[in-house]
Amino acid sequence: MARYVLQRLLSAVVVLWGVTVLVFSMVHATPGDPVRVLLGDSARGATAEDLARLRSELGLDQPLLVQYKNFLAGLLQGDLGKSWRTNRPVAAEIAERLPYTLQLTVAALLVAVLIGLPAGVLAATRPYSSVDYALTGLALVGVSMPVFWLGLLLMMVFALTLGWFPASGSGTWRHLVLPALTVGAASTAFIARMTRAAMLEVLTEDYVRTARAKGLSEWAVVGKHALRNAAAPILTAIGLQFGGLMGGAVLTETVFAWPGLGRLVVNAILTRDLYMLQGSILFTAFLFIVVNLLVDIGYSLLNPKVRFA
């Protein structure tokens, strides 16, 4: 077990280094002059010497390899740089926004599990019936529906028309409902489909038929035997969705003006705040890698075949 965890930790380090290369390359390959964007309207009256001096102060006049070396050196010391827009440390900005993103992610995942898991079990226990087709169709719609369109639709119905929930902002649990439903829709559909597939495979096993032959109730057969043995792939799906929700709420946070990491990334893109952009993306990728690592370790605990391999 310790060897498996060590292997996963080493692979996580390699993946994280690859992420730093990709993030740095993509951020610096985006078109536009960050210095002119930073200056705004005052860039029209700036001379070439003023622009060159500002680029030198920001370190943008150095070769990309030197900039990447400085970025990696600061990263190893826990320094993500300073935001060009607010002149505050990127780590401090991320720390302020992280609780909001965690709230939205946990709420969306809770919605996905509470709806998707029972829906998948119900569809698997009634395969190829009208219930199964209806739930599968809803799952397909949930996966295919654009997040921003669903957010606007929920806002129009439940905020503007019915007035049940606020249309945007944060503060109370009521502000969290519509963003959580929007973000959790696709995850609900994915978990439902994964649960159905895992349960269908388990329900054909001999021990399930034996449990039914012993006269156990359907709840005992499905809940205590089938669902427990199908938990490993379902846990993997839930863990992957958690990581995906952490980095996939950009559009939702923008639509609902939710002050999380996703909105921070959008603002950094619009203002060409390179340090903020690469720091936010890298931190989100780090969270995704950590969640996947924990899921792999949890999977090895549930599945002895992985642990002994």
Q: Are residues 134 and 7 in the same domain?
A: no
Q: Which residue has the higher pLDDT, 196 or 222?
A: 196
Which whole-number Å values give the CA distances from 113 to 189, 195, 285, in the listed order? 10, 10, 23
Q: Are residues 288 and 240 in the same domain?
A: yes
d(CA 176, CA 163): 14
Residue 84 belongs to a domain: no
Q: Are residues 114 and 171 in the same domain?
A: yes
d(CA 188, CA 53): 52
Lowest mean pLDDT among 47-56, 107-116, 247-256: 47-56
What token pair was written down for 265?
């990334």
Q: Are residues 109 and 203 in the same domain?
A: yes
- Looking at residue 36, what is its pLDDT? 66
Q: Are residues 63 and 130 in the same domain?
A: no
Which residue range forms the structural domain that includes residue 120? 91-308
- 165 and 174 in contact (C-beta within 8 Å)? yes
Give the residue-averaged pLDDT of 264-275: 80
Give the residue-averaged pLDDT of 189-196: 87
Residue 198 belongs to a domain: yes
- 185 and 107 in contact (C-beta within 8 Å)? no
d(CA 269, CA 243): 22
Residue 244 belongs to a domain: yes
Q: Are residues 33 and 126 in the same domain?
A: no
Domain boundary among 76, 110, 138: 76
- Looking at residue 258, what is its pLDDT? 84
Q: Are residues 189 and 107 in the same domain?
A: yes
Q: Which of 39, 48, 257, 279 is nearest to 155 (CA)?
A: 257
Residue 37 belongs to a domain: yes
Supply the pTM of this predicted model. 0.77
- 71 and 65 in contact (C-beta within 8 Å)? no
Give the residue-averaged pLDDT of 211-224: 74
Q: Which residue has the higher pLDDT, 74 or 58?
A: 74
Give the residue-averaged pLDDT of 19-31: 79
Q: Which residue has the higher pLDDT, 271 or 258?
A: 258
d(CA 276, CA 94): 9
Is the pLDDT confidence value at 309 over 70?
A: no
What token pair was written down for 212?
């039914």
Per-position b or e across 268-289, b if 16+ CB within 10 A of its CB: beebbbbbbbbbbbbbbbbbbb
**Chain length of the chain:** 309
Is the pLDDT confidence value at 211 over 80?
A: no
Q: Nearest 10 degrees: CA dihedral of 205, 207, 210, 211?
A: -110
Q: pLDDT of 95-146, one tens digit each?
A: 888 888 888 888 988 988 999 888 888 888 888 888 888 988 888 887 788 8
d(CA 245, CA 28): 26
Which whole-number Å values give the CA distances from 67 to 59, 92, 204, in the listed order? 7, 22, 58
What token pair was written down for 251?
């559009």
Domain boundary among 24, 53, 76: 76
Q: Are residues 34 and 101 in the same domain?
A: no
Q: Which of 250, 296, 256 is nearest to 270 (CA)?
A: 250
* pLDDT > 70 fraction of the chain, expressed in percent and rounded: 87
Q: Are residues 59 and 113 in the same domain?
A: no
Is the pLDDT confidence value at 41 over 60?
A: no
d(CA 220, CA 237): 24
Q: Are residues 24 and 57 in the same domain?
A: yes
Is the pLDDT confidence value at 248 over 70?
A: no
Lowest mean pLDDT among 21-35, 40-54, 108-122: 40-54
CATH number at residue 123: 1.10.3720.10
- Looking at residue 308, what is its pLDDT? 47
Give the residue-averaged pLDDT of 215-242: 76
- Residues paired with 89 in a beta bridge: 82
Q: Are residues 13 and 108 in the same domain?
A: no
What token pair was written down for 43?
């860039």
Residue 83 belongs to a domain: no
d(CA 51, CA 123): 63
Number of domains in the chain: 2
